[in-house]
Amino acid sequence: MKTVQDVIKLIESEGVKVIDLRFMDFPGLWQHLSVPVRELDIDSFERGFGIDGSSIRGWQSINESDMLVKPVPETAFIDPFLKDKTLVLICNICDPITGEDYSRDPRNIARKASHYLKESGIAETAYFGPEAEFFIFDDIRFDQNVHEGYYHIDSKEGQWNSGKAEEPNLGYKPRYKEGYFPVPPMDSQQDIRSEMMLTLEQIGIPVEAQHHEVATGGQAEIDIRFDSLLNCADKLLKYKYVVKNTAHRHGKTATFMPKPLFNDNGSGMHVHISLWKGDTNLFAGDGYAGLSEMALFGIGGILRHAGSLLAFTNPTTNSYKRLVPGFEAPVNLAYSRRNRSAAIRIPMYSTSPKTKRLEFRCPDPSSNPYLAFSALLMAVLDGIINKIDPGEPLDKDIYDLPPEELAKVAQTPGSLRETLKELKEDNEYLLRGDVFTQDVIDTWIEYKMVHEVQALELRPHPWEFALYYDI
């Protein structure tokens, strides 16, 4: 872990010229400001730097706009993309008058969740391992105004270009839903993904694997190694930054939008979770699939609160284009070992107690990781505290169940509007330990309803013209 003195030494040894201060807005995009290196000294980490909080989405009103960003020394890394040597520091947000941590700062919520876990005595550390998928496209155009609405996506490896006069068209374009693991030249993006992987390693993020994903048109996945809740959320932001900027360097564009392509696989973010005390994995035991009673109660908590939980793990209207019954995403609120059609899977690659964990398969990478991981932890802890029985596992292929059996399996909400309604009615478990405040939950619901749900509902969809223009 880097200290303030370590950061000062790093600046000197690397010849850093610019300090880039980064923080997360409420919906989930990284923001930044840069200062000359002389502006950072030892006192800066406590004194902070001033920003206008009213210009950040979901934050302060204009009459209470002054906020402080305080750099966190252990988050420091040298930016691998910028021309001038730049040191990046992730920041916490504070009130300049009271000095208190800002309740709507997503990173502060993650810090409080980690603290609440320790204070509960249930465990010391919650480990998270996200598998964030994304697309690498060659071109994207979109617009929506009074008289038109459209989007146009293109990829040199998209199956829709198999007949295009590319002079020459060399073929080798992954067929729909057949992009999983073919070698080059079918996999045309091996080199760019390897560059992403090695850049992540360069800035201190260990990678387990990179590969092409199922969809045509450049779907990809890079798996980073698990870490504690706060560290993992920090790393996921660095991960997105590296992916987007490496693609940009090659004249391409990367997106973590859950469902950019119709009728092919969307991008999910399966999240692996386990609770530990010291070197002991508390989720390992002699129960179903090698799980402990605690782990099973944790499953019960996720399944009980899934409807409201998805407001943070699947927080966009586009998320529910992926979470559709009968397609590839797991919408069935059941648990099972190995079975990828269940919302919660217990991986069985290894029998070692050290590897025992839950995999929640519903989330997608549009989520704000600080909020998503914190909400997941709070659902797990609620299950443990209240000993919520998850019911019997479902080891059958859920997609092949007869209708009468399938009707007994609960499913995820079908839209962002529905899950926000669930969050409004089911949020007490998030309020424990003041991790999420009522203000945060109310602001989240209002922001999402006004800026996303209602904004989309007000606009005609291109397909509506195909359906209804001749009425």
Active site residues: 52, 131, 133, 213, 221, 270, 340, 359, 361
**Radius of gyration of the chain from Cα atoms?**
23
Q: 73: burial class by Cβ within 10 Å (0-12, 13-18, 19+)?
A: middle
Placement of tokens 């980490």 in the chain: 45
Q: How far apart are CA 156 and CA 135, in angstroms?
A: 12
Query: Is the peptide bond prior to 71 cis by the omega test (within 30 degrees of 0)?
Result: no
Helix, strand, coil in percent for the chain, rounding step 5: 40, 20, 40
Alpha-helix residue ranges (DSSP H) falling in 250-358: 293-313, 319-322
The rounded distance, in Å, linking the Cα atoms of 417 and 422 is: 9
DSSP code, position 83 = S
Nearest-angstrom CA–CA distance, 230 and 225: 14
Q: Which residues sit opposite 153 in a β-bridge?
A: 140
The CA-based dihedral angle spanning residues 78, 79, 85, 89, taken in that order and rounded to the nearest 10 degrees: -60
